[in-house]
Structure 1
Amino acid sequence: MAYQWLAAATMVAHFAFLAYVVAGGFLAWWRPCLIWPHVVAVGWGFATVALGLDCPLTYVEDWARRKAGEQGLSRGFIDTYLTGVVYPERYTLLLQVLAGLVVLTSWVGFLLRRRAARDRA
């Protein structure tokens, strides 16, 4: 039972991390100190997709599911829970580009807000 809970908690944490990667830059508009953790998160997210790095959250979920007697993850987190489930595989590149544009928009907005705040000071 504990392994099932760990697997589920890891899955939720992974979804939260993905949401943070895509939209976390907007949090930095509110709390500027959050820009650096977001830059790191985006770098890690990009590296896992572009370079094929293994994500430790995927490893933990797979391990916990196997320990719980369930089938582990045969593919990565995104391939298991999003691609072909939430959106068709043919839209993967489009959605990656859109996620990148959301990140860039949040960063540009962050910089513009910082510049405006500095000009007011």
Structure 2
Amino acid sequence: MMYRILADLVVIFHLLFIIFALLGGLLVIWRNIMVLVHIPAVLWVSVLSFKGWICPLTPLENQLRLAAGGEGYPGGFVEHYLIPVIYPAGFSFDVQIVLGITALMINFVIYAFVYYWEKRRQDRTYE
């Protein structure tokens, strides 16, 4: 039972990390220091996507599921949990590249917004 709970917690953490990598740039508005955590997360997610690597959290989850008496699964977290929802027909390396580019573009837009927000805030301060 404990291993199953731990495996589920790894899945939740994995999903939260992906959401953070995609949208965490908005936290820079709250605290500028968040950029030091967010940029490496974005780079990590992008490299994983571009290289076709499996995140280390996936084997950890599989190990915990096996220890709980369940079964692991082949591939990575995205292929197992997210792709069936987003792309039910299948998953290919090309789709993985598109996901990596999408992550970078989302963050480019977010950081452009953050830059604009900060610039506006500074302009109001000096008026």
Q: Aligning the two structures, in what range does the TM-score lie when normalised by the shorter sequence?
A: 0.7 to 0.9
Q: What is the percentage of aligned positions where both structures have the same residue?
A: 28
The structural deviation recorded for 1:97 is 3.6
1:45 maps to what in 2? 45
Q: Does residue 1:98 correspond to 2:97, yes or no? A: no
Structure 1 Cα separation of the partners of residues 54 and 98 of structure 2: 22
Deviates more, 1:33-42 or 1:100-109: 100-109
Gaps of 5+ in 1: none
- TM-score, L = length of structure 1: 0.86
Q: Does residue 1:70 correspond to 2:74, yes or no? A: no
Q: Any idea what the Cα deviations from partners look like across 1:85-109, whole Å, max 9, x if unmatched?
A: 2111479355544333211111112
Task: From the superposition, tell whether residues 13 and 72 of structure 1 become closer, same or farther in structure 2 (CA, over 3 Å).
Answer: same
Structure 2 Cα separation of the partners of residues 49 and 40 of structure 1: 14
Matches within 5 A, 1:1-121: 1-83=1-83, 85-88=84-87, 89=90, 92=95, 94-119=98-123, 120-121=125-126
RMSD, aligned α-carbons: 2.0
- Give the residue type in structure 1 aligned to 2:51: L
Deviates more, 1:15-24 or 1:101-110: 101-110
The structural deviation recorded for 1:26 is 0.9
The structural deviation recorded for 1:60 is 1.2
Q: Any idea what the Cα deviations from partners look like across 1:31-83, whole Å, max 9, x if unmatched?
A: 21111111010011111111233422112101101111111121111000011
CA contact (8 A) 2:50 2:100 kept: no
- TM-score, L = length of structure 2: 0.82
